[in-house]
Structures are given as structure tokens and as C-alpha cells.
Structure 1
């Protein structure tokens, strides 16, 4: 039995009222949006009326200590605490309730114990840097107890005024974001929710670029953030060719799609963008299931779904040359009109493509960690292919393909061309120059780590493929992209 607040004038006098509150308890803890709240967290009734409206207080001073006693294998605060520190949860929020009723929840953490208060200071300091390029997403993920994607999106939606503008229900938003976060596979070294959070933070930085920001509408911003957060949702940890040659059901499904039914950004795909199709369709499914946008006009939700699909499909590496050529043409002709919705959408696609592959443009310490993670996924796929007696895919052979050689090829053929054109678009903004500086430094670092060739081996060093940037390697390098990698 929970300890009720008997000091308040609104005493619970009937079993019916108690039953109503317990129903709220079950709904509250069954919700997927607040994973951090433990079932035993005490709720104190502050006031109530007979129409099913209640106001409750989550006592986090008690819950925080209990959480760490019972969750010894985990570190960091609960998701609810993290949300409270963002300023998102200290406002009244409508929570959908059965029988078409609503309950108002006021989340309060004013009586936190000292350790929780210290956490809040650190957490708020990190959030104040969320728009800076040196933002440490790995530290942020530890601070949020593995809830970096949900917490970041809550903060950014609040910062950009999207919750107010679109009249979004906070609880429904949280539920949707947790659904997205949980659909990422945490066992993937690279394609997991932390990668999604990293791409989202990069997208936030790009949306603030002066050349773009002054033209963006709230809808553009929401689309950019949602697409970044969900662009790799439910990624299996292997690439598209692996799915095709193993006759995976996703490959079969999207290869059989009739081109005449292709409504989103028509393009003749060789393999129908298996992973990207799965990512955007899964995202739309979760949007509909959560009913996050159910209150908006039908025409608007259909437009949002189409644009989300188009943005996520743009991350397909098979379309790299298409987008790069189009961007170069626009910049050469100086005919980009960002007042026009089509041109803005195109630049959102470019921004998402940049955010998706921006790891080589981060500071060395973070860039190196991302490189090691993605190569671990490559090697895992290579091990699977070897196990099933399949031909090992390019860059997936740990005995042949070294991390430095993979990264140099990736930077040379994929990253540099795109970010050079992005810098032209932004007018060589401070952020663009910063990214290009990191890119040059990181490329030099990887070159210094290349395996030394053995004498008489014709340059074929023990690490294998030391000169990935050499003749005939562009096709291989194109497989190294976060949109189509293991």
C-alpha cells in the first residue's frame, strides 16, 4: 500500500476513489515512456475531485535511493529525473486515460537528495552545450542511464517550441520516443540508439546554421529531428547486400515493391533501399501506434509521413552521387530558393546525410571511438559470412581490412566531397570550417596508424589494404556509410 498524503484536505473517503487512483498507478507504470520509474515509487495525492482528475507528486528523494539499491547493475539516474532536470517535466502534462478521462501529472523533484542535485547540475551543464560541436554523446548517454535519445529529443522539442506549436501531448511524445529508442538494437556496436542520438545532436547543430535557420518552419525542424532520431531504427547490424544474399524477408519484401506504387521521392533503386525502407516504414508505424499526431489534420499527417520517408530514404548510400551532383549544380547556378518548400526539403535531406556520416568530423577522441564501433560491426558481419560459407563482403574481413585503411577510404570518397559542398552552402561558416578541420586532422591520424608494408610485399602490408584511397577502391569505400553498413 502506498503512503498517502494525509495532511492534505482532500482525504480519500471512498473505495471508488481509491480504485480510480490505483487504476492511474497501473497506467502510469505500464506506460513505456517512463522506464526509470520503479513500481514501488510512492505517489502522494495532492488534490482530487470526483470527476477523475488528480494531481500527484513523485517523491524522487525516496525513489532515487531505492532505484540504486535495486538496480545495482545499472548506473546513472532514472529517465524521469533526467527529464525533470531539462525543464520539460516541471509543467502540467495531460496523460491519456481510459474511459476518455484525463489525469494531470505534475512531476516534482524539488526534494531530491544531494547526489541527485549534483547530477542535475552536471546534466543541466551538458544540456547547455547541446548545440556545440564538441558535445560528448557518450557521456550524455551515461548521465541519462542509457536514455540519451529520449532525453535529447524531449529537450530539443521543448527548446524549439515544437511541443507548444503542435500542441503535442507530452506523455504521448515520451511514449513514442521510448518506442523509437527501444527499437534500436543495443547489442549493435554502432547502429544503436546512441548513434541515433549523435545524429540528432548533429542535426540540431545544422538546423542552427544561419544560412538555413532563418528559412525553417516549425514543421521543418520537427521533421529534421524526427528523421535523425529514427533514420536507422531496428537496424539489424548487417548491411543490405548481406540481407539480399541470405534471402532475408526484408530484402524479398522491398525487392518486390512495384515501382508504380512508389510514391516517396521516386528513384530507380537497384535493390529498393532495403534498410532505409524498413527504417522509415517502422517509424511511420510507431507514429501511428502512438497517435502522437492524431490530433492534427489528416492532410498534414500524410504530408509529415511522406516527408519523413523521403528524408530517411535520402540516407541510402546508393544515392550519394545523385544528391552530391544535385547540390553542386544548385550551388554553381546559385538557384537555391529556401523560401520554396521543395528546396528546403532538399537541404534537410543534405543536412541529414551530413549528420549521418559526421563521425569523421568530430573531435579525434569521439571520432576514433565511432570508427572502432562501426568496424566492429563490419567484422561481425564478416564472421557471420565466413560461418555460413558466404563470400566475405568488402571491408568486413578483419584479417585483411584494417580500421585505418577503412576510415581513410571512407573519408576520401564519401565524407570529404559532401562536407566540402556543405561548407560552400553555409558560406564556410564557423561550424563548417571546424568540421573540415577535424576531418583533416583525423585523416592524418589514421594515416599515421596505417599498417606498415612488409619489404618485398609490393605494399601489401600485414594489415591488408593499406592504401584504400588508391586505385579501384571507391566502390568499396561506398559501402562504408551509416545508412548501408553492418
Structure 2
């Protein structure tokens, strides 16, 4: 009777329906709770992202207020460069191996093509499995190449080294600023001289391919993002760069940082196809050579090299390290090795950069070095001292190891010194004698 009544009233069906609805309700509640938790996670992530962006903006604001023009927001360009390709003649190929090469005769796209050729000519592309498009992209990101600085610094408006016209590009060419001396043409000049050194001194027979690629890459990158004001200014003006590197080779450390900021992106990393441990070796070598270009270390490096040059051993790691440091130093300041019509415009450009700095130092009440003061210095007196005290002794030391450099480089430096001595005014001759 009771069972019939239960069936009659549909109690089992009611229980089943109630259980189903309760189960459905529980699932809906669980789903809503999961959505709420997901929304909460998204809100937390969004808040952390906002804090990160605000912190980055505050940091950039502080850096910009300390040293205007130093904040660089680099974002990669992933297009394939389409700059006008220059086909090198056999005459150009041979000239690239010599210290008499005229670096003033080449447009930006031609200089880029020459540097590309050097990597192929020295066997570096094949040895390190460098992708040809990556090599192009590493050198230049855009087909809209900047106009080259005027080789005649006495004409045209004063350049502004605090402004970087292309701050968003990660390649080499776009990260050389439009300053009178430390620009992309200087990069090309130093790289071409290093390429010539490799051929003149037969370095491929004496050094490993890793050491050769370190030499060439360091030459290309050694002055990346140079602002046109030297380390003395950076330190005296307490710039953000000097503060960051604790007044120790601030420019050279910055050049290294920009070098590896570029190489950190796979689209611009010419060494992306080599073993990580080999890349670390190359990175360490490039850093060591770029830091060696700080003239504050000149006496230290030359003293050590002079001590080992008479008993030089290519199996000695320390001897090789010093040789590479001296080679990049030679190439960096090698302009007077070139013919007069090639070297003299560089002196004009350098003096313009010196005067630009000393004018700013006077305006800011900072110490001014006499050899940079437009009211004191002349072209002959600044070059004679540099040739006598720095260039000739350094190249003479290298020529002990490579006698083939004696006539093509050391003799050229001595002739340059004699030429500048003939240009001295009578009062300057008295000063030189008293010195």
C-alpha cells in the first residue's frame, strides 16, 4: 500500500529531479567560482604589469633628467634590409687590404657592403655559420640610411650629439650617432684598418678564427652609441653613464652594453648558430678589446706588451691577449697612417668634437683640458704630441713583431710628424722646445 502511494505521488521521480537540479546547481557554482578566481588572477597580473610599467617609466624619467638623451627604447625591426647593394670591384677588394684605403670616398651603403665583404673574405661567415640575412640586418635595419656627416666640419650647422635620430633600431649602423668624429664612418675606418692588419700581418696563419672574428667584430662595435663627449666629461658631469659604471671606463662599458643588447635579439645575432660556450668566449673577447680602447689604460697595456714583444709566444694566452688589445688600439687611432688627404679631415673632425665638448664644459663650469680648448690648441701642436708620445712608440712596438709594418705604417707616422712640425708657428716651436 505504501509503495503504491509513493509511486502514485511520484516521490522517486521528485527525488531524482531534485538530485539532478542540485548537482547542476553545484556545477554552476563551481564554474562561477573558477571564473571569479580567474578574474582575480587576471586582475593581479594586470596590477603587477601596471606597477612594472610605472616603475620603468619612473626609472626612464630619472635617467632622462640626469643625462638627457641617454634613455634608449630599443625595439627590433624584423624586416630584411634593402639598402642599395654595392658590388665591389677587384680594385676595391685589393685596396681594402691596405692602410692607404680612402675611407672618405664611400657612401653609407657602400661602406656596409665593404664590411659584409670582409666577413666573407676572411671566411668568418662559413666558419661561424653566419646567416647572410642576419649579417645584413645586424649591420643595418633600414633602407633609409642617414646622411653621412660632412667631412668639412667648418661648414653647416653644429651637430647635436644628445639626439639620436633612430633610437628604436637595434642594428649597428643606426646606433652610431651623427657626431663629428665617433660616427659610423669612423667605425668603417677602424674596421677596414683591422681587415688590412689581418692581411698585412698574415694573422689568419698566426691566430685562430675565433680570435680573428673577435678582432673584426670589436672594431665594428667599439664606439657604438658614442655621444661625442669623452670619459672625462662623463665623470666630471656625473652623467648617468658615469654613475652606472662607477666612473670606470663609462663609454667603453656602454659600447659593450649596446653591442650585446643588439646581439641579444635572435634576429640580429650573427653568432646564433654557434655553441653557447663559444659565444661566451667571443663575448668575453669582444668585451676585453672594447675596454682596451680607453686611452686611460694606454700606459698599462703598452707597458705589458713592450715587456713581452721581444720574446713573444703565440702559444702564450697572455701574450695573445695583449697583442689583440694593442691591435685594436692601433686601428682605433690609425688615421695618421693613411695618406695626408685622408688623415687630415679626421683631425678636423676630431677637433670639432673636442671644441664641442670644451664649449659645453665652459658653459657648465667643468674643467677643460688644454688640448680640447679652441682658444689654446692648434692642429700641429695637438698632433705632434700625439704622434710623438703615443702613435709612433706603439706602432714601433708592433713592428717588432711584424716588420712588414715598418715602411707602410711607422714611416708614414714619422713623415706625418715632420709635416706637422713644418706647420708650427714660431711661438709654437718655442713651446715644443721648452716641452
Does TM, scored on the shorter chain, surpass 0.5? Answer: yes
Scaled by the length of structure 1, what TM-score is found?
Answer: 0.64
* Matches for 1:327-476 after TM superposition, within 5 Å: 327-332=305-310, 334=311, 336-426=312-402, 428-429=403-404, 431-453=405-427, 467=431, 471=435
Q: 1:137 — aligned with what?
A: 103
Gapped regions of structure 1 (runs ≥ 5): 1-29, 37-77, 87-122, 256-270, 454-460, 472-486
Q: Measured at CA, do residues 237 and 469 of structure 1 come closer, stay the same or move farther in structure 2, by a change above 3 Å?
A: farther
1:314 equivalent among 287, 292, 299 = 292
Residue deviations 1:126-171, cap 9 Å, x none?
A: 23311022111111x23xxx23542222101111111111111111
Aligned equivalents of 2:251, 2:433: Cα separation in 1: 27
Q: 1:69 — aligned with what?
A: none
Superposed displacement of residue 195, structure 1 = 0.7
* Matches for 1:61-460 after TM superposition, within 5 Å: 78=84, 81-82=85-86, 85-86=87-88, 123-139=89-105, 141-142=106-107, 146-178=108-140, 179-186=171-178, 188-210=179-201, 212-255=203-246, 271-289=247-265, 290-332=268-310, 334=311, 336-426=312-402, 428-429=403-404, 431-453=405-427
Aligned equivalents of 1:452, 1:297: Cα separation in 2: 62
Superposed displacement of residue 433, structure 1 = 1.9
**Is the CA contact (8 Å cut-off) linking 1:408 and 1:469 kept in structure 2?**
no
Q: Measured at CA, do residues 148 and 340 of structure 1 come closer, stay the same or move farther in structure 2, by a change above 3 Å?
A: farther
Superposed displacement of residue 450, structure 1 = 1.7
Q: 2:147 — aligned with what?
A: none
Superposed displacement of residue 346, structure 1 = 2.4
Residue deviations 1:289-316, cap 9 Å, x none?
A: 2232222211111111111000111111
- Runs of 4+ more than 6 Å apart: none
**Is the CA contact (8 Å cut-off) linking 1:33 and 1:177 kept in structure 2?**
no
Superposed displacement of residue 183, structure 1 = 0.6
Gapped regions of structure 2 (runs ≥ 5): 1-76, 141-170
What RMSD over aligned residues (CA atoms) do the two structures have, in Å? 2.0
Superposed displacement of residue 125, structure 1 = 2.9
Q: Measured at CA, do residues 361 and 272 of structure 1 come closer, stay the same or move farther in structure 2, by a change above 3 Å?
A: same
Superposed displacement of residue 35, structure 1 = 4.7
**Is the CA contact (8 Å cut-off) linking 1:314 and 1:349 kept in structure 2?**
yes
Aligned equivalents of 2:394, 2:368: Cα separation in 1: 28
Scaled by the length of structure 2, what TM-score is found?
Answer: 0.71
Q: Measured at CA, do residues 382 and 35 of structure 1 come closer, stay the same or move farther in structure 2, by a change above 3 Å?
A: farther
Residue deviations 1:347-369, cap 9 Å, x none?
A: 11111111111112211111111
**Is the CA contact (8 Å cut-off) linking 1:361 and 1:439 kept in structure 2?**
yes
What is the number of equivalent residue pairs in this alignment? Answer: 327
Q: Measured at CA, do residues 470 and 356 of structure 1 come closer, stay the same or move farther in structure 2, by a change above 3 Å?
A: farther
> Counting helix residues as a fraction of each chain, which structure ranks higher?
2
Report SS of the residue matched to 1:376: helix
Aligned equivalents of 2:183, 2:93: Cα separation in 1: 21
